[in-house]
Structure 1
């Protein structure tokens, strides 16, 4: 008669044989059941809600019989067995040893990582390591009780699961889609889901390109120990043969990664083409960080032809830096290589060196913050030309600059909550120029004293509906002495006037030009915080300066026309942002002249939530030869994805040149995802053409099976069972 209580019985090691007791661990097994009895022939029988625990393994069953003489467990199911790795085994009945590691399970089904399922007529566990499954079906798709087959499965005569190596070995395997055999493999090896870095093939993809032809890309992953791996991806197409590679290695104090490819293209006159991109980061003694970046390409169009990158200026750099609370040090050597049509690397500053040092002090006697900085910069052109061009400076000029500065900052809080800040400093700039032309100075030195006073008055108001309003007017008066020397304008060539430099004493982004004399800047910002979850802000500002700032000793103006800073009163800067709880964010800024005509404008809107990720950008720039822009720029860029059904997601991109009234790039795709497969079909078109580029259309088809080396990315994609 079953007693309606739960009994806790500890199976001490003395129940086992004396020899087993000497070798077994000290942790006892624990048995929990509704009824437990010990028979005359020394058998322990537990029935009703039986649960056994031993060394992290957990067994539940309807009945367990333990034979003290043989040390075996006879289990009547349905039973479940969970191992230390979290794998779940479900069976109808079993015969196991006392350690729950070896034995036979009938009608067994293994569920690994809540993803991969292995169902077998019989399973044998041996050596506490191997699971041998006979007449097995393997799938990561959800299996329903309505009799319908899973979307895909692997049927095998035998499957061996090596728990130590975490590998699955298949004998006489059949790959089936909806129970239809599409592939037969006498031998097959796959990683189990617990293995993060398994040697083997990754998701292949089919590609159809108007340039490359029709082909297939099959990546193969090779782990090299615990800290290195190599991925090889051969690509075979009708017009191209390519081998891609990626090498990664982690060190105790750093990491490196290199990506590259070698190709033979029928449409190219070069017999062999390729590229190499690499990055690295290492921690050095005394908190220094070493970084390097490598970007190499065999020719101007390889990266675009094969879709690796649209970069047309390659950067190779090695740097060492250290950032602490009150100190910053950096040194770098950079090499630039232009792949743009019409640009000559001989007349561009392709090699540059930079050394920077900055330190903060907090003097107690005068208060505030004292900041010292020093910068050494040099750039080199390979051209030896000394002939003067339209700006009177030779194309082969080389420049070295030393800049040191000492600044003092101090802030106060005045009555009524007004925040005042004062800044003063002295800057020394020294330039050495070679091959600058016969009319330019070969060296120049300039001292620049600076003064700036800024007042801010933040005002806050909260309403009874918990709405918060913040208004902050700002005004600044500044002065810079000295004059701009007659040297080439090499660094401060592209000026952006925005909220970040509105209240800087100089809006130039490099020391070879500075704003000098008196200037005033004002601005006001307004922000509204609504408890409903949305927030809006608006800011505007403008700069006023002396008339003589516009000219450079009678030469062409230092500021370009489209910078918004060329006139005595700068263009009006207006910027705004809106965001709400649904994930919608809209940001815009623009420069408007005295007639309120637009000089520059940009806007971006994005909408991001669980089902939607869409972004649109618009840019408008007026024509400006000084910024190498002979015609105006008006361009739209839209990209995003939308999940319109449980398993279906659409994605698209479009880039449109409104000034030229033509598309630049367009693409669309459709992805089907569930718990066991990802299928993507995509098409893209590049419309741009030049003397070295042709328009190109690409079709892509990718099928990825999850469950072995990759898990389902989102549980919401899991299908439901319906009768």
Structure 2
């Protein structure tokens, strides 16, 4: 049996001067401890020593008081308070195990990056290694070769700055030299914000050729940074800049690019995007974003995110339990060839306020709300109703809408729920540059709605639950349509969210009038096996048809289309959602569906969209498309992905893409190819190829500890 000896002998034999510098004792555990000539301590057999956060294990330790040094025979394992591991064959250290020389050394940082050297010398905050091989790849067997490594004549690790400095560095892939650098500096894996190069990427497109992106990260303190990314190809010279700053009450991000290319020779192209969010006094929040580009095709040519309509917005808002207030101004810029920014609503201003009151003298809830809205077109030509001359129409609109409402709910016999809502709307509309409508319109409108619900719930013996709830609402809105133009409510959706609304127009420049009856049936089920399903079927009847409801809205005529919506999900990752509007002849006017399945290896998704022809919505052809996206994890390291979108109406591919990713404990490689088939004449079809390579184990490459492999014997 091992003789366990716990000693404080290093403390006893350490000179008083050392005690003054470091009063903490060194604890020693070994199979055998002997003292020679009152100045040498020898510990052998399963030796372990602890001192001031440093843990040392070795085969033999010899302490010489005359030289105040410790000679250690390996195999040696030394772990310091920061978690750095040093492995060595032999070592000669001071009594605190912090300074000295280790031979046959290997250093492990953050359980990721390995530095193997012939010797390592520790001096305070610095560890200097000679003839070094650096890698984060797992190597199994003495003849194993890492996927990548950096060979250097010397490496210095600065513990305080958490930096690695290389002399005469040679980067190798499968032990084949790739390139050489006389000096190299990299952050160690514990440093998350270090100045230096980030993950490079190679991008090849049919428009811009093959180019390289090499981002450089510059931290400016702990609260802000800037990333500079040169992008060079035979066609373009581009600089991308990203600035980020965190404030005590918010954050700011700015993205901008400048390009000089042969696509538009002699022109400077670029974009400027900025967004921020800040907390103000009294619970108010400020949010803003700015989006602008040099030309309509720039975003498509360079593959930047942003869409084909840009919006710049500023909003101040506050949401509390019983009141909400918001004010915003938005500037829109369309990049579509078919849209003229002079005749599109370009500058839009909104202000909204809503307050809930619960007066003791009046049961129920009283609401007071108001909206001020205005939108402006740059064109100064009057709207004359000529559809062939719309590119010069410049109608401008402003409105004020006040809503006073009272609502209450009751529980009747047999669990039936009743609700009553009454409204008084006060509206004022001002229209300019439109000879077809009145310039100023004012009106007061009354409305009321009576709602009945009768929920039935059934609980199964094994824990399943089923809810069936018929819903019926009678609504009435007085008055007639005012003479203001329909300039906002041109795209109407009919779904579960507005089934029980008195007006299904998206904006308050329009209201439904007359009597309506809405009826629906909702069914929900939660099975004990873990799957859940729901379905809604509904329809609306009205006293008179509303001419402002278009064909694809599903609300045209005195009787609406059937609204059918359903969803399904289970614990195996499968989910289905579908919604459609179908008429009495079983024809869809609008439909959408989404199916998805995900687990630890597979992520699949498919969507379908159908919109019928509707001249009132500027849609002369039906729109129908399939889209698919998916990813499959072949094994722990390899993952493939794909996406495509197919236009069923035009019978052509709109976009297709393939991706492949390899990842292990020391490298991440991403490859992708995508093809966009542009339909607008100001955009060009393009094929993009992307390649990114990230070395794991450094602060710039991120961690991949979860991918660490185990060697088999």
The TM tier, using the shorter chain, reads: over 0.9
Structure 2 counterpart of 1:80? 77
Contact 2:403 2:425 in 1 (8 A): yes
Query: How far apart, in 1, do the equivalents of 2:213 and 2:182 lie?
Result: 24
Counterpart selection for 2:539 from 539, 542, 565: 542
Contact 2:199 2:701 in 1 (8 A): no
Structure 1 counterpart of 2:398? 400
**CA offset digits 1:139-183 (Å, max 9, x no partner):** 011111251211111111111001111111111111111111111
Structure 2 counterpart of 1:365? 361
Contact 1:146 1:722 in 2 (8 A): no
Look up the SS of the partner of 2:410 in the other structure: strand
Structure 2 counterpart of 1:656? 646
The answer to whether structure 1 residue 340 and structure 2 residue 336 are counterparts is yes
Change (3 A) 1:422 1:85: farther
What is the root-mean-square deviation of aligned Cα atoms in Å? 2.2
Structure 2 counterpart of 1:419? 417
**CA offset digits 1:553-612 (Å, max 9, x no partner):** xxxx11111100112111111111111222111111100012121010001111222222
Greater shift, 427-436 or 165-174, is seen at 427-436
Shift of 1:455: 2.0
The answer to whether structure 1 residue 703 and structure 2 residue 693 are counterparts is yes
Change (3 A) 1:270 1:567: farther
Query: How far apart, in 1, do the equivalents of 2:13 and 2:373 lie?
Result: 81
Structure 2 counterpart of 1:278? 274
**CA offset digits 1:164-203 (Å, max 9, x no partner):** 1111111111111111111122211111000101211122
Contact 2:695 2:701 in 1 (8 A): no
Counterpart selection for 2:143 from 144, 147, 152: 147
Structure 2 counterpart of 1:511? 508
Shift of 1:721: 3.2
The answer to whether structure 1 residue 488 and structure 2 residue 465 are counterparts is no
Query: How far apart, in 1, do the equivalents of 2:113 and 2:258 lie?
Result: 37
The answer to whether structure 1 residue 615 and structure 2 residue 605 are counterparts is yes
Counterpart selection for 1:434 from 432, 435, 458: 432
Counterpart selection for 2:676 from 682, 686, 690: 686
**CA offset digits 1:629-657 (Å, max 9, x no partner):** 11100111112211123322111111110
The answer to whether structure 1 residue 349 and structure 2 residue 339 are counterparts is no
The answer to whether structure 1 residue 51 and structure 2 residue 42 are counterparts is no
Greater shift, 464-473 or 249-258, is seen at 464-473
Q: Where do residues 295-694 of structure 1 align in structure 2 (5 Å cutoff)?
A: 295-309=291-305, 311-390=307-386, 395-437=393-435, 439-547=436-544, 550-551=545-546, 557-694=547-684
Counterpart selection for 1:107 from 101, 104, 107: 104
Shift of 1:84: 2.3
**CA offset digits 1:683-709 (Å, max 9, x no partner):** 111112432122111222222211112
Counterpart selection for 1:133 from 119, 129, 144: 129
Contact 1:115 1:711 in 2 (8 A): no
Contact 1:403 1:427 in 2 (8 A): yes
The answer to whether structure 1 residue 206 and structure 2 residue 202 are counterparts is yes
Look up the SS of the partner of 1:500 in the other structure: helix
Look up the SS of the partner of 1:320 in the other structure: strand
Look up the SS of the partner of 1:562 in the other structure: helix
Greater shift, 85-94 or 346-355, is seen at 85-94
Query: How far apart, in 1, do the equivalents of 2:198 and 2:130 lie?
Result: 27
Query: How far apart, in 2, do the equivalents of 1:10 and 1:609 lie?
Result: 56
**CA offset digits 1:85-119 (Å, max 9, x no partner):** 22222222222223222111222211112211111
Shift of 1:12: 8.7
Contact 2:666 2:704 in 1 (8 A): no
Query: How far apart, in 1, do the equivalents of 2:481 and 2:18 lie?
Result: 91
Greater shift, 166-175 or 452-461, is seen at 452-461
Query: How far apart, in 2, do the equivalents of 1:339 and 1:103 lie?
Result: 66
Shift of 1:714: 5.7
Query: How far apart, in 2, do the equivalents of 1:340 and 1:162 lie?
Result: 54
Change (3 A) 1:543 1:216: same
Query: How far apart, in 1, do the equivalents of 2:632 and 2:70 lie?
Result: 54
Query: How far apart, in 2, do the equivalents of 1:398 and 1:494 lie?
Result: 19
Query: How far apart, in 2, do the equivalents of 1:523 and 1:32 lie?
Result: 79
- Give the structure-1-normalised TM-score: 0.94
Look up the SS of the partner of 1:708 in the other structure: coil
Contact 2:452 2:471 in 1 (8 A): yes
Query: How far apart, in 2, do the equivalents of 1:414 and 1:196 lie?
Result: 62
Query: How far apart, in 2, do the equivalents of 1:697 and 1:343 lie?
Result: 26
Query: How far apart, in 2, do the equivalents of 1:8 and 1:416 lie?
Result: 79
Contact 1:446 1:483 in 2 (8 A): no
Change (3 A) 1:434 1:149: same
Query: How far apart, in 2, do the equivalents of 1:30 and 1:304 lie?
Result: 67
Query: How far apart, in 2, do the equivalents of 1:345 and 1:433 lie?
Result: 19
Query: How far apart, in 2, do the equivalents of 1:10 and 1:477 lie?
Result: 89
Change (3 A) 1:48 1:450: farther
Structure 2 counterpart of 1:554? none
Query: How far apart, in 2, do the equivalents of 1:608 and 1:712 lie?
Result: 26
Look up the SS of the partner of 1:221 in the other structure: strand
Change (3 A) 1:369 1:101: farther
Structure 2 counterpart of 1:95? 92
Unaligned runs of 5+ in 2: none
The answer to whether structure 1 residue 195 and structure 2 residue 199 are counterparts is no
Query: How far apart, in 2, do the equivalents of 1:518 and 1:118 lie?
Result: 80
Contact 1:198 1:221 in 2 (8 A): yes
Query: How far apart, in 2, do the equivalents of 1:385 and 1:404 lie?
Result: 31
Query: How far apart, in 2, do the equivalents of 1:309 and 1:701 lie?
Result: 18
Count of aligned residue pairs for this structure pair: 711
Query: How far apart, in 2, do the equivalents of 1:29 and 1:514 lie?
Result: 84
Structure 2 counterpart of 1:265? 261
Contact 2:70 2:94 in 1 (8 A): yes
Look up the SS of the partner of 1:258 in the other structure: strand
Change (3 A) 1:10 1:567: farther
Contact 1:405 1:425 in 2 (8 A): yes
Shift of 1:14: 6.6
The answer to whether structure 1 residue 161 and structure 2 residue 132 are counterparts is no
Shift of 1:369: 2.2
Change (3 A) 1:46 1:356: farther
Shift of 1:337: 0.9
Shift of 1:720: 4.4
Look up the SS of the partner of 1:405 in the other structure: strand
The answer to whether structure 1 residue 236 and structure 2 residue 232 are counterparts is yes
Change (3 A) 1:428 1:134: same
Query: How far apart, in 2, do the equivalents of 1:135 and 1:219 lie?
Result: 30
